[in-house]
């Protein structure tokens, strides 16, 4: 729609206020967590009356959804940029994607928790969140895509192989099912590492998180034959 390109003053003001609300909500998130996100608190911070928020978001859940979609998009963009900067060496591309995701998570711990932590009770993520979430996995798959076919690994059982082939298809990977399963596992490993670090489960165990993370990213690269 042209109205999005040549916007009138009203439209531009609206976009600005929506952005301000989301920014304030993000700040609020950092203090109270997702479950405690309050429309009234957000309105207060913007010197608005609480009911004014309803001009921009139909409900608290709709604002939450916007934050989640923005979060995935922001994270995906960070990963994609890192991948683009990393050149064409598959292992470097993999490293760049992993590092970008961890760095983003450390910079935005509460948004990370919103995306990959406990689900918000009573809130069901709508389908709008699927696409940006998929972009993150696509960035993680970039190294394998660059590397092309890999030495085959033992095939997983049929049900798993079928899932793996669907994933390969969706991400444009020409890789055997076993390797795709390893990529899925590497993703859960990656988010497991980041979650443990951010949520405090490695307190008193791991002291040099940078080195530990780098070590494991390379181990995963080996496993993926990158």
Partner DNA sequence: TGTACATCAGTGAACGCGCGTTCACTGATGTAC
Q: What is the footprint of a copy of itself within residues 168-187 (CB under 8 A)? A: 181-182, 184-185
Q: What is the footprint of a copy of itself within residues 128-147 (CB under 8 A)? A: 130, 133
Residues in contact with DNA by CB under 7 A are 8-10, 13-14, 17, 37-41, 44, 47-52, 54-56, 59-61
Q: Which does 195 bind (CB under 5 to 8 A by kind): a copy of itself, DNA, none?
A: a copy of itself
201 binds a copy of itself (CB under 8 A): yes
Q: What is the DSSP letter of 157?
A: P
Q: Which does 119 bind (CB under 5 to 8 A by kind): DNA, a copy of itself, none?
A: a copy of itself
From CA 226, how far away is CA 218, in angstroms rounded?
Answer: 9
Between 61 and 223, CB nearer to DNA = 61
DSSP SS3 for 176: coil
Q: What is the footprint of a copy of itself within residues 35-54 (CB under 8 A)? A: 35-36
Q: How far apart are the first and last CA of the chain?
A: 43
The dihedral formed by the CA atoms of 146, 97, 26 and 121, expressed in degrees to the nearest 10: 80
Between 56 and 199, CB nearer to a copy of itself = 199
17 binds a copy of itself (CB under 8 A): no
- The least distance separating DNA from the CB of residue 127, rounded to whole angstroms, comes to 20
- The least distance separating DNA from the CB of residue 91, rounded to whole angstroms, comes to 46
73 binds a copy of itself (CB under 8 A): no
195 binds a copy of itself (CB under 8 A): yes
With tokens 């055997």, the residue in question is 176
From CA 98, how far away is CA 140, in angstroms rounded?
Answer: 7
From CA 67, how far away is CA 205, in angstroms rounded?
Answer: 33
Q: Which stretch binds a copy of itself (CB under 8 A): 1-9, 54-62, 93-101, 121-129?
A: 121-129
14, 125, 135, 165: residue in contact with a copy of itself (rule CB under 8 A): 125
Buried b (16+ CB within 10 A) or exposed e, 65-84: bbbbbbbbbbbbbbbbebbe
- The least distance separating DNA from the CB of residue 15, rounded to whole angstroms, comes to 10
User: Residues 6 or more apart from 121 whose CB is under 8 A from it?
Assistant: 35
The DSSP result for 54-68, as a single string, is GGT-SSHHHHHHHHH
């Amino acid at each position: 729609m042209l109205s999005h390109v040549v916007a009138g003053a009203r439209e531009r003001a609206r976009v600005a206020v929506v952005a301000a609300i989301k920014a304030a909500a993000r700040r609020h998130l950092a203090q109270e967590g997702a479950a405690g996100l309050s429309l009234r608190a957000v309105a207060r911070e913007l010197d608005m009356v609480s009911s004014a928020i309803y001009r921009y978001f139909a409900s608290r859940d709709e604002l939450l959804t916007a934050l989640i979609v923005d979060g995935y998009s922001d994270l995906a963009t960070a990963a994609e940029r890192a991948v683009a900067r990393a050149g064409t060496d598959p292992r470097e591309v993999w490293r760049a994607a992993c590092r970008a995701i961890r760095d983003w998570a450390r910079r935005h711990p509460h948004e990370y928790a919103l995306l990959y932590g406990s689900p918000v009770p009573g809130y069901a993520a709508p389908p709008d969140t699927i696409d940006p979430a998929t972009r993150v996995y696509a960035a993680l798959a970039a190294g394998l895509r660059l590397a092309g076919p890999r030495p085959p690994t033992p095939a997983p059982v049929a049900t798993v192989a079928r899932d793996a082939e669907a994933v390969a298809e969706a991400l444009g990977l020409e890789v055997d099912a076993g390797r795709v399963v390893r990529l899925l596992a590497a993703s859960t490993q990656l988010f497991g590492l980041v979650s443990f670090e951010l949520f405090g489960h490695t307190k008193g165990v791991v002291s040099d998180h940078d080195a530990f993370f780098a070590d494991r990213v390379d181990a995963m690269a080996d496993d993926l034959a990158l």
